[in-house]
Amino acid sequence: MIERYSNEKITKIWSDEYRFKKMLDVELAVCKVLSEEGIIPKRDLSNIEKKAKFNVKRIKEIEKKTKHDVASFVKDVASSCGKSGKYIHLGLTSSDILDTALALQLKESSDILIDDLKVLIKTLKKKAKRYKNTLCIGRTHGMHAEPTTFGLKMALFFDEAGRNLKRLEDAKRNVSVGKISGSVGTFSHLGPSIQDKVMRILKLNSAPISTQIIQRDNHAQFVVTLALIGSSLEKIAKEIRSLQRTEISEVEEYFSKGQKGSSSMPHKRNPVRSERICGLARVLRGYAQDALENVALWHERDISHSSVERIILPDSTILLDYMLNEINEIIEHLVVYPENMRRNIEKTKGLIFSQRIMLYLIENKGLSREQAYKIVQESAFESFNRDIPYKEALLKNKRLLKYLKPEELDDFFDYKYYLRNVDKIFRRVGIS
């Protein structure tokens, strides 16, 4: 189901054809190094490099009998090389090939996801700059708090996406690791220098120590990173969903010509794409749990991780690729309603300026915080309960008027006060 939404570039990486191709790349790299070491005759290496190939259909036919995918792969490849085929898989164990090939797949998948993230970061930066000073209400607990700007919301997401990019680049490095250390990681048949040379050919890091497998904390970090990125995308999508509610109506997913929001209600325009992002983020978090469960295996290795990874690694990378492209398109075409933001910010009739008045009383009139809070809150509650402008309620507060002249109140109801550090915040996150 995921694949029909995703680009072919990343789904191809996880196809059987491509997986076997990477496995063959590992086998050929080993043969090349063994030839350089004088273990495989150059004539046989030349023959292997010219003739080595595989047939996915034939491998699957062999596997019906062997019940072992790598053994079936090796048999098929070796048969294509004639007598030289005896050197295929020399001194190796299955996981030498599987884990190293998997590292190649994960590295390539990471490159695609990194590119996706960079595109999203660019889009968020563009939107942040565009709406840098577009005033809107900031909400805490879902309630009106104090003024902010829509550009600051985008800048916040931009900054978080940058952190996720660093996390993904780090996870890519840690998962781009191969090994040729044998059945329990002791290099008993091929020495460490062989592994190092093979990894240089494949452009992978060489595991300093391993068992029969690369240790799964590397893979767990990778999948957890994908889940964390997914959660960040959910954070953006959830904000869009909330702001699109009829009662708020500050932003809206682009609604294309011919699109339908409901089979029964023609007026509906729903944030379905953002909702989809939120749902899929849950799937990624589930995969992260599976990856963590794979870390602890029996002794030098059991196979309980393998079946799990054959689902979660392709799915999580393909899924995040889809989510990144989807959220980028949502933000790129997001419909923003500044006039509704302005309307909403004025809904509380000035209550959002309460903290500024309280702080002035503390800093300039000698009141304790408790005294100032009580005076300001008293007028705030009257404004809310009687549905009158906050300034009107303040002007009726005799306790307040002991410290403030009526004409002084105007200075506190100024939105510009809340925008005075926006430029500084933008510079701090690297948006100029």
Each residue's pLDDT tens digit, 80-105? 999 999 999 999 999 999 999 999 99
Q: Quick check: 331 and 282 in contact, CB under 8 A? A: no
pLDDT beyond 70 at 128: yes
pLDDT beyond 90 at 387: yes
Nearest C-alpha neighbor of 187 from the set 216, 201, 208: 208
Fold classification of 1-90 is: Fumarase C; Chain B, domain 1 (1.10.275)
Distance between CA 169 and CA 155 in Å, rounded?
Answer: 21
Q: Quick check: 393 and 386 in contact, CB under 8 A? A: yes
Intra-chain end-to-end CA distance of the chain, in Å: 41
Residues in the chain: 432
Fold classification of 101-254+269-346 is: Fumarase C; Chain A, domain 2 (1.20.200)
Q: Where in the chain is the domain with CATH 1.10.40.30?
A: 351-412
pLDDT beyond 60 at 1: no
Find the Cα–Cα–Cα–Cα dihedral 306, 309, 310, 313, rounded to 10°: -160
Whole-angstrom CA distances from 45 to 37, 48, 49, 51, 75 are 12, 5, 6, 10, 17
Nearest C-alpha neighbor of 148 from the set 132, 159, 162, 137: 137
| Neighbouring-strand partners of residue 140 | 143
* 9: its two tokens: 């570039």
pLDDT of residue 256: 73
pLDDT beyond 90 at 8: no
Query: Does the active-site annotation cover 141?
Result: yes
Nearest C-alpha neighbor of 252 from the set 341, 148, 156: 341
142-182: pLDDT as tens digits: 999 999 999 999 999 999 999 999 999 999 999 999 999 99
Under the banding of pLDDT at 50, 70 and 90, the label for residue 6 is low
Fold classification of 351-412 is: Ribonucleotide Reductase Protein R1; domain 1 (1.10.40)
pLDDT beyond 70 at 3: no
Number of neighbouring beta carbons within 10 Å of residue 210: 25
3-state helix, strand, coil in the chain (%, to 5): 70, 5, 30
Angle among Cα 345, 348, 350 to the nearest 5 degrees reads: 85
Q: Quick check: 220 and 207 in contact, CB under 8 A? A: no
Q: Where in the chain is the domain with CATH 1.20.200.10?
A: 101-254+269-346
258-310: pLDDT as tens digits: 777 767 787 878 889 999 999 999 999 999 999 999 999 999 999 989 999 99
Q: Where in the chain is the domain with CATH 1.10.275.10?
A: 1-90
Whole-angstrom CA distances from 264 to 117, 267, 269 are 37, 9, 12
Distance between CA 295 and CA 257 in Å, rounded?
Answer: 49
Which listed residue (141, 263, 267, 307) is catalytic? 141
In this prediction the pTM is 0.94
Which listed residue (46, 188, 193, 262) is catalytic? 262
